[in-house]
Chain A
């Protein structure tokens, strides 16, 4: 039953994909009417104006270009033109660094908030105000105070991924079943030991869910942040190709951003499954 369900789902997926490609192909194939123009004038104009070609590339163009990129993902033509592999590497490194910093701050702090109702109440107003701020709104402030665009981008990743982790950790720690804590208490387990052997395992699934949400947000934000600060990264690539109005490359970048985002999410999902326990 499950295999046949999986099989049928796969068929539907493929059919949807083919339908999408087909519609895309048809939609971009048509040529609009073109005003007559002298040959010397036409020589100076782009294909959209001379042949009425759609400004949107078709699937075959995107495929060909994608193949071109995949063939040499690590070329380096100077500071402003690097292969997609290098650009993705930069982005992932930035996300990784900002995210790790966030983990180092959010989890201990979340523990503290979860275990101490006093601190929880005291910090609550700050968290409530800071949490909804769009991470990109921090960018001008970061650039101004940190005075380094690379670190500013990492800071933006940090600030956007810290909140879901913090809140989830606090929530997970606070909602550990009272019975377990009481049992630990009757057995006279020390605070530290209690935190590591009882609370941490019990709260781990919630904490990891928070981490999973965070990595998703961090990956969303890095693209926008890199479009702003430029230099390197997949976000810069999108911006640079947008500059050249090269929709083909932008589509390729979108595709790759999606795939990398999915992979990051899958990694965290696996970790979550590892720490989940049946009650």
Chain B
């Protein structure tokens, strides 16, 4: 399916370890590098191919991005990266001079191998970048990986990548392990029992900041799903569709550091209810929500899907609204790994990210959704009736009140970790008292949400990544400007007084 040749295999990720060490080449230069600065020793790539997939990076937005990167760069690091690039150019020019014919160059590289070619060239020219360029392209340091997940449809890309072979395609042998709850998945990932895992989008931020856990730097290379949640109420409340009638009701959310918590609070507050005093919010693991709703312990929940649809399927609840109606395109779950894993096994991490991005792209296509529903339904994965998963993934669903609704975007998949998402979450963490004191929104967002890396992976795979990593969006009609988080925060009347 994704047969687009990757122009440079290892180059990009080798560069990444440089960036992580503090050497950040600016995006402008990187954009150029992708064409002119291709790895000239890669036998699978054509040197004369200019303006390939990477050409699109040279846009005004990219310049903005570069400007930002420049600001955080040290002067020295810039010189450093320039130097590197020049060396690449030298090698490239050299190869071209020696083998003007593409086919001949490739045949040469294939027959003697890249390292021999390098050794031969180094005799004439001092090529210091040799090791970087020729580091075994993308061979994962660790092939057998464990990835944890919670059995909900948000984890679709992580789960389906196993039965549909996306991990294997990227040279990995991944065990996806079902986990009992968010706190456990957090602890197991911190304990390194899992190499990476499925987490609620705000969790890596919370872990990095040390909220509800010891601070450990975590990063998000990909968002799993957007939309795909819903507010489900018990059937007995079917006439109470106006949130103003909800005073005193009990709602369940999956975890304190979840989009569900922030979205439900936002929704209630917009309707004039103070979520801390007017209603009760309880943190309940998703699998227990339907049972609790049936037992009348809670009046409703804002929960991940298949749980919402499951409540409908079992006749105990109805869909009040989809979370999409609160914020269309909101992130929900993320794919997260610790910084330690990323720096310790950069190639494994890169392959894992590629597999996830690949799977996410596959999941985003409506025509694949039925097949996915069948692949992830068995007991080894989500363990839910196929009918329920199909309704969630295809968007044609029973609403619990006797109607059949269709919304193809009920859940969608988009891997790009917008840093503005992280900024929004930080504003809500602050709004509801989870963060006390000041926070450097941008710094945290950029540290945790690896937009630059995802951008690169997406481009390499022939997908179209967005040009910036900040975007504005609106939540219930109110526009959020990621550049002014404090103003946004100040504009809310209902918030926790700290």
Contacts and interface: CB of A to CB of B under 8 A. Distances in A.
Contact of A227 (B178, B180, B183, B193): B180
Main secondary structure of the interface of B (DSSP, over half): mixed
Interface in B133-152: 151
A48 B180 contact: no
Interface string B142-179: 00000000010000000000100000000000011111
B314 A48 contact: yes
Interface stretch (B91-99, B337-345, B380-388): B380-388
Given A44-B391, A80-B379, A81-B380, A143 B180 contact: no
A77 B385 contact: no
A41 B404 contact: yes
Nearest to A228: B180
Contacts of B287: 239, 242-243
Contact of A230 (B180, B310, B391, B396): B180
Contacts of B379: 77, 80-81, 240, 244
B246 interface: no
A79 B290 contact: no
Contact of A81 (B175, B294, B314, B378): B378
A7 to B, nearest CB: 43
B199 interface: no
A240 B191 contact: no
Given A46-B315, A230-B180, A243 B404 contact: no
B380 A41 contact: no
B206 interface: no
A274 interface: no
Interface in A27-62: 35, 37-38, 40-41, 43-46, 48-49, 55
Contacts of A79: 175-178, 380
B381 A245 contact: no
A43 B404 CA distance: 10
A80 B315 contact: no
B20 interface: no
Contact of A49 (B162, B315, B391): B315
Nearest to A230: B180
Nearest to A40: B404
Interface string B24-63: 0000000000000000000000000000000000000000
Nearest to A246: B383
Nearest to B186: A143
B151, B397, B398 pick with most chain A CB within 10 angstroms: B398
Contacts of B397: 44
Contacts of B151: 243
B108 interface: no
A121 B176 CA distance: 51
B191 A149 contact: yes
Contacts of B162: 78
A6 interface: no
A228 to B, nearest CB: 6
B403 A45 contact: no
A216 interface: no
B176, B191, B192, B396 pick with most chain A CB within 10 angstroms: B191
A37 B178 CA distance: 36
Contacts of B398: 41, 44-45
A90 interface: no
Interface in A162-219: none
A241 B404 CA distance: 28
Interface string B277-297: 000000000011011001000
A78, A79, A241 pick with most chain B CB within 10 angstroms: A78
A80 B177 contact: yes
Interface residues of B, number: 41
Contact of A143 (B187, B313, B391): B187
A147 B177 contact: no
Contacts of B177: 79-80, 230-231
A242 B175 CA distance: 22
B184 interface: yes
B442 interface: no
Interface in B363-380: 378-380
Nearest to B151: A243
A229 interface: yes
Contact of A243 (B192, B312, B383, B403): B383
Contacts of A143: 184, 187-188, 191
A148 B193 contact: yes
Contacts of A45: 312-313, 315, 398
A166 B168 CA distance: 51
B402 interface: yes
B458 to A, nearest CB: 29
Contacts of A81: 378-380, 383
A144 interface: yes
A236 B383 CA distance: 13
B180 A46 contact: no
Nearest to B290: A245
B190, B312, B314, B315 pick with most chain A CB within 10 angstroms: B315
B180 A144 contact: no
A46 B402 contact: no
B314 A41 contact: no
Contacts of A77: 378-380
Contacts of B312: 45, 49
Nearest to A226: B180
A55 B294 contact: yes
A43 to B, nearest CB: 8
Contact of A240 (B178, B294, B402, B403): B178
A112 to B, nearest CB: 35
A35 B404 CA distance: 15
Nearest to A146: B191
Interface string A79-92: 11100000000000
Interface of A: 35, 37-38, 40-41, 43-46, 48-49, 55, 77-81, 140, 143-144, 147-149, 227-231, 236, 239-245
Given A43-B387, A242-B287, 6 more contacts: A44-B396, A79-B175, A79-B177, A147-B190, A149-B188, A228-B184
12 contacts: A44-B396, A77-B379, A80-B177, A80-B380, A140-B183, A140-B187, A147-B193, A228-B180, A229-B184, A241-B383, A243-B151, A245-B291
Interface of B: 151, 162, 175-180, 183-184, 187-188, 190-193, 287-288, 290-291, 294, 310, 312-315, 378-381, 383-385, 387, 391, 396-398, 402-404
Question: Which 8 A-B pairs have CB atoms at the shortest separation, nearest pair first?
Answer: A49-B315, A81-B380, A44-B398, A147-B191, A243-B287, A81-B379, A78-B380, A46-B313
